[in-house]
Structure 1
Amino acid sequence: MGATPYSLVYGMDAVLPVELRIPSQRVMMEAGLPEFEWAQARYQELHMIDEKRLKVLYHVQRYQRLVEKAFKKKVRIRDVKKGDLVVKFDRAPVYDHRGKFRPNSLGPFIVNEVLFGKAVRLLDQNGETSTEPINLDQLKKYYA
């Protein structure tokens, strides 16, 4: 039949709310505007969309800067050197009969080597070197 269910029920084609905000050619033809005026109005609408996108982009960038500033307020720099004493946080979910009263850190360890990318190799109290590098966010300075 070539007709949509909407047009069969209501006797006209459906117009989307987006088409009312940014008029399409079909809406302009029904309004009776000449093609030149429609093209000019359409160009202005498209130009305004670019401005709105830039405005949103600036807003997002400003928000990201504010979030970054708030995050950096809480960041503590962990500066360790070779020979410093550190403790390592024990985050492994190993069963321990002490439950929540088990110690949450291991150590102290001695920093043997500082690697590129904020990682270190540790020595335990017996002088044995760890095989895997450990990230600085898992360590905390130990003051004896």
Structure 2
Amino acid sequence: MAQAFNAKVHHREFRPDDLVLRKVLHIGPDSKSKFAYKYDGPFIVKETFSGGAIILKNMDGNENALPVNADALKKYYP
């Protein structure tokens, strides 16, 4: 059973200077519209850690203080 599950899992690998989109957390009654944005960005990957945590920075170069999990990101191809 584990072998069947692992066959469907797609490993995502991020490297520094990759462009990514971050999933938006919809909090509150106003943001649960079907027309609300699902992803925010693009951001630049500054640093990656072994546990799946990633530190991002804006396109302007401002660093975000909190790390983000890799499962909440997807690569952005301009």
Taking only the aligned residue pairs, the percentage that are identical comes to 36
Give the corresponding residue for 2:49.
115
Q: Which residue of 1 aligns with 2:25?
A: 91
User: Where do 1:19-38 residues align within 5 Å?
Assistant: none
Specify the SS of the correspondent of 2:27.
Answer: coil
Amino acid at match of 2:37: P
Q: TM-score, normalised by structure 1?
A: 0.50
Compare 71-80 and 102-111 and name the one that shifted more: 71-80
- Higher Cα radius of gyration: 1
Partner of 1:80 in structure 2?
Answer: 14
Greater share of strand residues, 1 or 2? 2
Bigger share in helix: 1
- Over 6 Å off, 4+ runs: none
Mapping of residues 1-144 of structure 1, within 5 Å: 66=1, 68-94=2-28, 95-96=30-31, 99-144=33-78
Q: Which has the higher contact order (CA 8 A, sep 6+)?
A: 2
Give unmatched runs, 5+ long, in structure 1: 1-65
Task: Render the CA deviation track for 1:100-141: whole Å, top value 9, x for unaligned.
Answer: 111100000000011121111000122110111111000000
Kindly tell me: are residues 81 and 71 of structure 1, through their superposed partners in 2, closer, same or farther at Cα, counting changes over 3 Å?
A: same
State the shift of 1:91 in Å: 2.5
> Partner letter of residue 136 of structure 1?
A
Distance 2:55 2:74 in 1: 14
The count of residues paired between Structure 1 and Structure 2 equals 77
Q: Which amino acid in 2 is paired with 1:92?
A: H
Ranges in structure 2 where 5+ consecutive residues have no aligned partner: none
